Chain A
Amino acid sequence: MTNGNYRRVVMVGLVVMGLPVLFSLVDYARGAEGEPFLAPAKPDTACILESAAMRYTHMTFLKDLRDRVVREENRSAEGDLDARGMNSCRGCHPDRAAFCDRCHDRASVRLDCFDCHKY
């Protein structure tokens, strides 16, 4: 590789590194929606957790529920578990595409709930 070519390759590399910043700036300038993924819940419904905590823990939250019910047969601990099970998700968020998929797609996280369950 000649010296000139090497420099050209380095330049290309440096430009590539700048591209994400550029994209972010463009996004910002376009005023792209920050958190567009979740469709709001139905009106007059109570949140199980505040949305930040839910976003952070919903996966283990659901699994924990599952484990307690399926493995420990413990349906009594927290009262109306049924209302908090996955069945109840769609009570407040009826559209799976707007509630689950959009966000998971965006974050490239494979959703395996619906391999077994129906929403």
Chain B
Amino acid sequence: MVPSVGDETTMVKRSPHRDSAPAKKPRPKRVVPDREVVRRLLGSGGDAMGQCMQCATCSAVCELTPDDAPFPRKEMLWAQWGLVDRLVSDVDIWLCHECHDCTVRCPRGARPGDVMAALRQACVSHYSFPQGLARAAAAPAGLVWIVLASAALLAAASIGWDATGVTVAELTGGGTRIAIPFWTRFPHGLLIALFLTVFAFDVAVLGLGMRRYWRALSATALSAPTRATPNAWGQSLRAALGRIVWHDDFASCQHEARRRFGHGLVVYGTVGLMVVDLWVVTARQNPLLSGLVYPLGLADPWKLLANLAGVALVMGCVMMGIERLRRRERWFPGGKWSGLEGVRRAPSGTYGDWLLLGLISTVVLTGFVTEGLHLFRVDELRYAAYAAHLVSVTTLFVVLPYSKLAHLAYRTLAFLFVERYGLRRRAAVRAETAPAASCAQPKLSPQEVP
């Protein structure tokens, strides 16, 4: 994985005297640029990557990059060349946390931070199936179809459920006519079954992608002679999870420092909601529960937690969104860049970035609206809000393995990989961390010794 320009990027020329060559030299690998990949990267945030002149400022200012294979300079080169094989077997794209320290400092305005994000998206698309769905999730036009498909899925499930007649039969067992309430069109059992199915699909897609990615990583990163004895799985997993739990990597970022907090709110908000969901989904089987399970009263500890988590989620999304929109003022204070140039220099996020924040916010906000309309008995709207909530949840689950949200799987995997093989350690080359390193002490000429 020597990331220099000249190693394998040399084109092979067919020599007319090949047969007479006395000894077989190892043939340099022929580089096959993938123009389609380049085109896609250009369209998903990497539009300025052609500006890169390989000065390596990005790698040197990055606080997360390891010393032995720094990013994102090499990735910029690979992206320009469309070296898809290298890009999709590169673990470093997931070690980047998109803090944009490199983008701010790039002397060409090539925005390596955005290119890395585009590469991550390309990596997710590359390893996921079906490819059609992956494409759809990567473009605004596709979102319309996914939303419509999600709504159709819900409608189909509801109609199918209706057609089985189970609810009606159960309820009308006494021969009494009963109007079927809205929520019996989407009884919890049905929703749980539906979402578990979609969730299982997500797990399958992500799992397969992770498996492919892990294999690609093992084939490339581990072929280096530096391969060490791998660390134990448990130890590696602990270390990887530790990085996630404490958001350690975010702490290094300079220009998006507050994102550590915003991202934390979103992550722990999601975890909180997942805990509540788990509780609710398993309620019927839970020996601790009996009788009335839902609706949960406002004072119920679970309801409190759910609301708290929802508020945290929205707050986190808003924080990250505001940070994103105010980049120009934060990165280039004093109106240094204005107008279109400023927008190009400090863009306010790609489609993929906003899809994630937008979907999460929509899910939580429609949830809150539904809750509020329920509490205040606004019967005309509450079912509409609930339907919107269900559709947005389904959409979120459908795009999960194809969107930026897939980073929860891929980044975790990358962490696990580097922790297991002891790769990508950040040695203390920085002056502030190694003031007494031997190379950092110049010899003093005799007359200078105090």
User: Per the CB under 8 Å rule, do A and B touch in the complex?
Assistant: yes
A residues lining the B interface (CB < 8 Å)? 1, 3, 6-7, 9-10, 13-14, 16-17, 19-21, 23-25, 27-28, 34-37, 48-50, 53, 55-57, 59-61, 63-64, 77-78, 103, 105-110, 112
Asked if A16 contacts B171 (CB within 8 A), the reply is no
Chain A residues near B260 (CB, 8 Å)? 1, 6
Given A6-B264, A9-B264, A20-B304, also A107-B292 (CB < 8 A): yes
Chain B interface size band reads 35 or more
Complex: how many Å from CA A108 to CA B304? Answer: 12
Chain A residues near B309 (CB, 8 Å)? 17
Complex: how many Å from CA A61 to CA B172? Answer: 11
CB nearest to B265 among chain A residues = A13
Interface centre among B181, B275, B309 (most CB of A within 10 A): B181
Complex: how many Å from CA A13 to CA B265? Answer: 9
Q: Which of B181, B247, B264, B304 contacts A59 (CB 8 A)?
A: B181
Chain B residues near A107 (CB, 8 Å)? 292, 294-297
7 nearest A-B residue pairs (beta carbon): A35-B291, A34-B290, A20-B301, A64-B179, A34-B291, A60-B181, A23-B301
Asked if B251 contacts A6 (CB within 8 A), the reply is yes
Asked if A37 contacts B292 (CB within 8 A), the reply is yes
Chain B residues near A55 (CB, 8 Å)? 292
Q: How many A-B residue pairs have CB under 8 A?
A: 118
Q: Which of A16, A21, A57 contacts B178 (CB 8 A)?
A: A57
B residues lining the A interface (CB < 8 Å)? 170-171, 173-174, 176-181, 184, 245-248, 251, 260-261, 264, 268, 271-272, 275-276, 279, 288-292, 294-299, 301-305, 308-309, 312, 374-377
Complex: how many Å from CA A55 to CA B178? Answer: 13
Asked if A17 contacts B271 (CB within 8 A), the reply is yes
Chain A residues near B177 (CB, 8 Å)? 64, 77-78
Complex: how many Å from CA A2 to CA B247? Answer: 12
Asked if B288 contacts A61 (CB within 8 A), the reply is no
Complex: how many Å from CA A67 to CA B276? Answer: 37
Chain B residues near A63 (CB, 8 Å)? 179
Chain B residues near A109 (CB, 8 Å)? 295, 374
Chain A residues near B296 (CB, 8 Å)? 107-108
Interface centre among A7, A21, A103, A108 (most CB of B within 10 A): A108
Complex: how many Å from CA A19 to CA B181? Answer: 34
CB nearest to A105 among chain B residues = B297
Asked if B305 contacts A56 (CB within 8 A), the reply is no
Asked if B297 contacts A10 (CB within 8 A), the reply is no
Q: Which of B298, B301, B308, B377 contacts A112 (CB 8 A)?
A: B377
Given A49-B176, A60-B179, A107-B296, also A24-B264 (CB < 8 A): no
